[in-house]
Amino acid sequence: MTSKLDQLRDMTVVVADTGDVDAVRRLKPQDCTTNPSIVLKAVGSDYFADAVSDAVGQGGDVSEIAQRLTVAVGAELAGIVPGRVSTEVDARLSFDTEGSVAKAKSIIDAYAARGVEKDRILIKLASTWEGIRAAERLQKDGIDCNLTLLFSMAQAKACADAGAFLISPFVGRITDWYKAAEGVEGYAPANDPGVKSVRAIYDHYKSNGIDTVVMGASFRNAGQIEALAGCDRLTISPDLLDELDADQGDLSRALTAGSASGTAEAIDEPTFRWEMNEDAMATEKLAEGIRKFHADYVKLEKLISDRLA
């Protein structure tokens, strides 16, 4: 009997949600995703001590050094995985389309200087209206994007309209919100609000021939992952990857493109903003996610400032 992780690999592209180089080498995912929280943890490890010293030693302002470190982590991961590495644009640019485009191109240039071509990188942008518009422009320039902090069908539709390469619906954070709102301890996987959200988006995309990749993210337990087996991609923490690897039980496909149904309609800005306004969970979790990523980016900048001092 093969492990559930191996069975999952047969139906879904497995992505590691970590900057832990040792874990990536051991678990052998296809891709890696990073964010400011992951980069902060990575550069605080002994493994990247030389990279920190090198990045600081090259000089420049704090923002330049922070990007240098972010790309150093991503380039190291790109040297291990055969697929893509996602790298996030500064959360402070989440409502700045022009700034997001410029920063994304700067990140791509920084990777190229390290010998990592753009077809190995996904630029991560928050799924705000402005972030989605930035992705639309970047995609036209041949830079593939990962639209993150996605919590609603409105965001998913807008990302598809923009031609985004990939979206990352946040399963666990959706579940967290509903657990608090409904005062419950948890949900059976089939009734989990985060799982149901990804299933609905997957169904919408597949039934309408939308090429944008659906990558479930932010999992709280293995049951959520199993309930989405068959999704295009799933980005999973090392702890949950280990749990799946140790489980020798049967894993059945939960999502199939053939079962999808529905029709697509383009979503304009007023409709997008209204639907987000009417979805308290999506509005609150999007804003919270941007704040949390920004907070960790500030911590990274402080780490750099302390070294410069």
Alpha helices in the chain (DSSP H): 4-9, 21-27, 36-43, 49-57, 62-78, 97-113, 129-140, 153-161, 171-182, 193-207, 222-226, 238-246, 269-278, 280-308
Please pick, among 124, 157, 196, 206, the residue that the annotation labels catalytic: 124
- The CATH number of whichever domain residue 22 belongs to comes to 3.20.20.70
At which residue do the structure tokens 């991609």 appear? 233
Q: Which residues pair with 234 in a beta bridge?
A: 14, 216
Interval 106-145: pLDDT, tens: 999 999 999 999 999 999 999 999 999 999 999 999 999 9
pTM, full prediction: 0.95
Instruction: Count the domains in the chain.
Output: 1
Interval 27-85: pLDDT, tens: 999 999 988 888 888 888 999 989 889 888 898 899 999 999 999 999 999 999 999 99
Could you list the residue range(s) of the whole structural domain that residue 54 is in? 4-308
4 is catalytic: no
Q: What is the pLDDT of residue 261?
A: 61
Mean pLDDT of 13-25: 95
Interval 214-264: pLDDT, tens: 999 999 999 999 999 999 999 999 999 999 999 999 999 999 986 556 677
